[in-house]
Amino acid sequence: MSFLSLARRGLRPAGSLLAAVALSSCTTDILDITDPDVINVADVATASGVSAMRNGVLRDFTVVYSGTQDGVIGATGNMADEIIATDTFFDRLLVNERNTDPNLGGALNSLYLNLHTARAGATRTIRLWTELKPTSKDTLSELYSIRGFTEDFFGEIYCSGVPFSEENGSTETFGEPQTTAQVFGKASATFDSALTNATGAAFRNLAAVGKGRVLLNLGQFAQAAAAVASVPTNFRYQTFHSNATPAQRNGLWSGLVQASSRYTVATNEGTNGLPYLKTPNDPRVRWSPSTRLGFDGTTPNLPTQLKYPEPASPATLADGIEARLIELEARLQGGTQADRDAVFAGLNTLRATGLATAIAPIAAAPTTQAAAVNLLFEERAYWLWLTGHRLGDMRRLIRQYGRAANTVFPIGPVATRSGSTYGNDVNFVIPFNETANPNFKGCLDRNA
């Protein structure tokens, strides 16, 4: 069974019990039943049914983005320099150590599958929404944006070679491996559809920030700045969480706040990691000390992140702060001191206006391009802390700014695990399960 089949809502492979019944029965009547756990698309192909599908897409996206400790935010922070695994399971430990294997399974499989589930669900719902509710443009725009973000995440998180298989009813079409640039190109086209359909400002802003993010990943800096120019700095789109059920809880609370958590927030990780946990707190990176032990029972005094202090804490997917940071990075490409001064001034404007209480300004403008890049990416890391941006930014430092991987990612001994050292991964490997796709032969490139 393919990854695409598993990603269909409500569909699952038949178990051994069903096979045993088929072998032992002298009639087929026992097999002629309706499985109440499987929903056929045709059964919900109504105006009310497609609204329920839309809600399911938002739920699936929330789960994979911020609803589990192994979602986009948690997993990418673990490979980057934001989070450290304090677990006993290798699917988390080896991600943190940058030494992954396609056969690891576990959290690696669930992230990949959940991303495809959200993407496939959005595609299916877009198709029906266009047919059944063609005048409800803003919701259609939102669905396109959700799909666009899942596609962008595949480009930011995984090695080159991700395939996008498609299904329409009972028909499957296995996708061909895509280069990272092709993945971002696919996401860019999806955000174009989101922008075309948006009528309300909030949906237009969501699509614009997504488009700007993808263009930044493609190195199209001027176009990225143009895409976000009209987004107000106070715009914010967040995922919803609740303590009503475990499935609705914020995964960063689960993974970084609960007792015996499987992760902890990092600071100065592996020589190159940024100093996130400052005293007094940087208000963009709020934390407190604790005496909690990690899940491994040996990692002591885990710092507690306060960005998501409750199970119901929302998570920001896109906002106007990111729009301004995209504009400033585009300006930095000019390479002159005037450009560096403008970026310096813009960063201080954000510090003065981006939060309810102003942050102290940066003291002096950088005088070299390398220092200006360092400053911009550090400020991005603090503003966008624990929102799933950092791994993509670290990869961009290699791909677009010519930095060596061993100057960007954590290196050397792993402080929390005696005898372990960081490996060379700069992205996630595509899990073994994708080999069910006959077109897939493994990663095309793992270097950037």
Mark out the alpha helices in 97-250 (DSSP H runs).
107-132, 137-157, 180-197, 201-217, 221-228
Q: What CATH number does the domain containing 424 carry?
A: 1.25.40.390
The string of pLDDT tens digits covering residues 267-279 is 999 999 999 999 9
Q: Residue for token digits 């050397």? A: 412
In a domain, 33, yes or no: no
54: Cβ contacts below 8 Å, ≥ 6 apart: 125, 129, 139, 143
pLDDT of residue 37: 52
What single-letter amino acid sits at 22? A
CA 232 – CA 323 distance, rounded (Å): 8
Instruction: Tell me if 427 is assigned to some domain.
Output: yes
Express each pLDDT in 59-109 by its tens digit.
999 999 999 999 999 999 999 999 999 999 999 999 999 999 999 999 999
- What is the Cα–Cα distance from 377 to 325, expressed in whole angstroms? 9
Task: Work out how many domains the chain is built from and give that number.
Answer: 1
Q: Classify residue 442: in a domain, yes or no.
A: no
Check pLDDT > 50 for residue 426.
Answer: yes
Q: Is residue 39 a part of any domain in this protein?
A: no
* Separation of alpha carbons 126 and 170, rounded Å: 17
CB atoms within 10 A of CB 287: 20
Q: Does residue 18 belong to any structural domain of this protein?
A: no
DSSP string, 331-384: HHTT-SHHHHHHHHHHHHHHHHHSSSSPPPPPSS--SSHHHHHHHHHHHHHHHT
Report if residue 123 sits inside a domain: yes
Quickly count: other Cβ atoms within 10 Å of residue 26's Cβ: 6
Measured CA to CA in angstroms, residue 418 lies from 95, 202, 422 at distances of 16, 49, 12
Does any domain span residue 321? yes
For 309-334, the DSSP string reads -STT--EEEEEHHHHHHHHHHHHHTT
The two beta strands, 171-173 and 166-168, are antiparallel
Residue 24 confidence (pLDDT): 33
Q: Rounded mean pLDDT of 422-437?
A: 96
Which pLDDT belongs to residue 33? 52
Alpha-carbon span 233 to 294, nearest angstrom: 37
Q: Which of 310, 290, 312, 307 is nearest to 299 (CA)?
A: 290
Q: What is the mean pLDDT of residues 418-434?
A: 96
Provide the token pair at 38.
Answer: 């499987």
Over residues 174-227, the pLDDT tens digits come to 999 999 999 999 999 999 999 999 999 999 999 999 999 999 999 999 999 999
- Residue linked to tokens 């614009």: 208
Q: Give the H or E element holding residue 172.
A: strand 171-173
In this prediction the pTM is 0.91
Residue 38 covered by a domain? no
Expressed as residue numbers, the domain containing 400 is 3-13+48-436
**What is the reported pLDDT for 112?**
97
Q: How confident is the model at residue 41 (pLDDT cuts 50, 70, 90)?
A: low
Single-letter amino acid code for the residue at 401: Y
The Cα 90–Cα 67 span in angstroms is: 21
Instruction: Give percent of the chain with pLDDT exceeding 90.
Output: 86
Taking a C-beta distance cutoff of 8 angstroms, is the pair 239, 66 a contact? yes
Closest to 49 in 3D by CA, of 9, 100, 107: 9
Q: For residue 280, say if its preceding peptide bond is cis, omega within 30 degrees of 0.
A: yes
What's the burial of 121, exposed, middle or buried (CB within 10 Å: 0-12/13-18/19+)? buried
